[in-house]
Amino acid sequence: MSQMLERLQREKIVAIFRYIEDQYADQAAEALLAGGITLMEITMNTEGAAGMINRWRDKYGSQAGIGAGTVLDLDMAKEAVAAGSQFLISPNLDEAVVEYGYANGVPVWPGVMTPTEIVRAWKAGAEAVKVFPMATLGWKYLSEIRAPLDKIPMLATGGVDLDNIADYFKAGACAVGMGSKLVNLDWVRSGRFDLLTERARKFADAAKAL
């Protein structure tokens, strides 16, 4: 098990930064850190993502785990790893990305939905998978697939909120990925970083209580 997977299972939440403008990114990251969220993913379809990842590794590397999200293919994976990503997360399963990450010591948590995809990802070398889209599938789906596939760590992404986060963990998620519920871009753009910290603290406390 990689150190990053151990950290994922311990901290239980990955914050997803998608479409955040570079001018606000550092303050948003600091707001989440202040609230106790330390695993952060910048999606590769965010303008300037590689530059932000590189900067955050320098600025927050001692406090945070910084990774890349929406890594769709090998070219994106190479760009993200060159920028300093400590983990790669995808909405899809591309075995070439999993193999590249494995060869370079960077964990890849690919996006999967069906039991067949989950096992394929595992056989390709993924030490954990991202079950997506959970907002549509729901935690009951996760509970069903966990029964026969209980050896494979699953990161549940989509649909997680304060009132159901416990259900996701009871269903067998090792961690959850959260975007707009944590990184509210309206708050970011209006300078309400205090609200980001407050929200982060609530989710971090909820995860620790489980």
Q: C-alpha dihedral over 56, 51, 71, 28, to 10 degrees?
A: 50
Contact 188, 206 (CB under 8 A): no
**Which residue in the list 6, 41, 99, 181 is annotated as catalytic?**
41
Tokens of 165: 């986060």
For residue 78, what are its two tokens? 């190479």
Residue 51, sorted as left (phi over 0), alpha (psi -120 to 50) or beta, turns out to be alpha
Distance CA 145, CA 122 (A): 14
Please identify which of the residues 21, 130, 202, 208 carries the catalytic annotation. Answer: 130
- The one-letter code for the residue type at 91 is P
Annotated catalytic residue 41: yes
The DSSP 8-state label assigned to residue 125 in this structure reads T
What DSSP designation does 168 have?
H
At residue 181, what is the residue type? K
List alpha helices for 72-183, DSSP H: 74-83, 95-103, 115-124, 134-137, 139-146, 165-170
**Catalytic annotation, residues:** 41, 130
